[in-house]
């Protein structure tokens, strides 16, 4: 398979960076988008790479925040056949309270919930023999304090609307969006699927302030990740300081920026 970052916070090439995430993944069976980024950046960057988004057959939206699904309406205007898999609760209202501002909306367009291409999922879901979606209930280990600015209508967000993707092939690949449930908890849940590559964000930095989580959290995560026989490609909400810390302690830790491509 080939994985290309079409939307990411950083870019060292001709693609435009923006705060968000979208990975274009070609497998033996699928042309897949994992997340869509916040805006039309996805469409512009795909065009630069010669990727025809109208031919995408599967979309996975990792959770209900606009920087991962903000381009959904624009995508639906050019693609009329792809099935879009999303946790049902992702369309609930979501907010941030960073910078002392109360309840700034960061959710998805709820009018799109009933679109005929939408496949609303409740928990784990097997798409086919190649693709599996799963959720994480136990989020207790190494809680990221960067999550504490995020809320739903009931209070602090518990991230029941977050899902992760397993892609099965010669080397199984785990794909996560922000890893709000905690990369350590997600990896523990994914052990049964034997992933050899993990790609995605860990949400160890607050986007508005760039503040990184405390060092004891980073140290605990680094210690856990170092015990896995796995290649780690992180990005987006991990944050540059957290990435540097982890990369110094986890041998196979790499940054996956906008325009980067990985062949598995």
Residue 130 inside a domain? The answer is: yes
Q: Give the pair of three-digit tokens for residue 163.
A: 């899902």
CATH number of the domain bearing residue 155: 3.60.15.10
Q: Which long-range contacts (CB under 8 A, 24 or more apart) does 72-76 make?
A: 72/36, 72/108, 72/109, 72/112, 73/109, 73/112, 74/39, 74/40, 74/42, 74/43, 75/33, 75/36, 75/42, 75/43, 76/112, 76/115, 76/117
Domain for residue 22, yes or no?
yes
Total domains in the chain come to 1
Query: What pLDDT shows up at residue 100?
Result: 66
pLDDT (tens, 9 = 90+) of the chain, 264 residues, equals 999 999 999 998 999 999 999 999 999 999 999 999 999 999 999 999 999 999 999 999 999 999 999 999 999 999 999 999 999 999 999 999 866 677 899 999 999 999 999 999 999 999 999 999 999 999 999 999 999 999 999 999 999 999 999 999 999 999 999 999 999 999 999 999 999 999 999 999 998 888 999 999 999 999 999 999 999 999 999 999 999 999 999 999 999 999 999 999
Domain that holds residue 227: 2-257
- Residues 254 and 244: beta-carbon distance below 8 Å: no
Whether 66 is in a domain gets the answer yes
This prediction has a pTM of 0.97
> Is 262 part of any domain?
no
User: Is 263 domain-assigned?
Assistant: no
Q: Which residues contact 63 (CB under 8 A, 6 or more apart)?
A: 87, 90, 159, 161, 162, 163, 177, 178, 180
Q: Are strands 155-156 and 150-152 parallel, antiparallel or unpaired?
A: antiparallel
Report if residue 81 sits inside a domain.
yes
């Amino acid at each position: 398979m080939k994985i290309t970052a079409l939307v990411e916070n950083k870019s060292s090439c001709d693609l435009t960076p923006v705060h968000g995430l979208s990975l274009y993944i070609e497998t033996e069976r699928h042309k897949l988008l994992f997340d869509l980024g916040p805006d039309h950046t996805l469409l512009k960057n795909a065009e630069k790479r010669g990727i025809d988004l109208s031919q995408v057959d599967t979309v996975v939206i990792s959770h209900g925040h606009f920087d991962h699904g903000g381009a959904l309406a624009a995508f639906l205007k050019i693609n009329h056949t792809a099935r879009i898999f999303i946790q049902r609760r992702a369309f609930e209202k979501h907010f941030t309270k960073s910078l002392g501002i109360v309840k700034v909306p960061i959710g998805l367009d709820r009018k799109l919930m009933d679109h005929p291409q939408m496949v609303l999922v409740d928990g784990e879901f097997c798409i086919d023999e190649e693709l599996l979606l799963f959720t994480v209930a136990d989020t207790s280990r190494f809680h990221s304090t960067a999550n504490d600015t995020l809320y739903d209508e009931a209070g602090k967000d518990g991230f029941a609307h977050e899902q992760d993707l397993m892609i099965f092939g010669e080397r199984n690949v785990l794909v996560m969006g922000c890893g709000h449930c905690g990369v350590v908890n997600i990896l523990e849940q994914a052990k049964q699927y034997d992933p050899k590559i993990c790609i995605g964000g860990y949400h160890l930095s607050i986007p508005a302030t760039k503040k990184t989580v405390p060092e004891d959290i980073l140290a605990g995560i680094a210690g856990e990740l170092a015990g896995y026989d796995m290649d780690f490609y992180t990005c987006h909400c991990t944050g540059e300081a957290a990435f540097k810390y982890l990369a110094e302690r986890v041998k196979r830790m790499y940054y996956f920026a906008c325009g980067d491509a990985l062949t598995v």
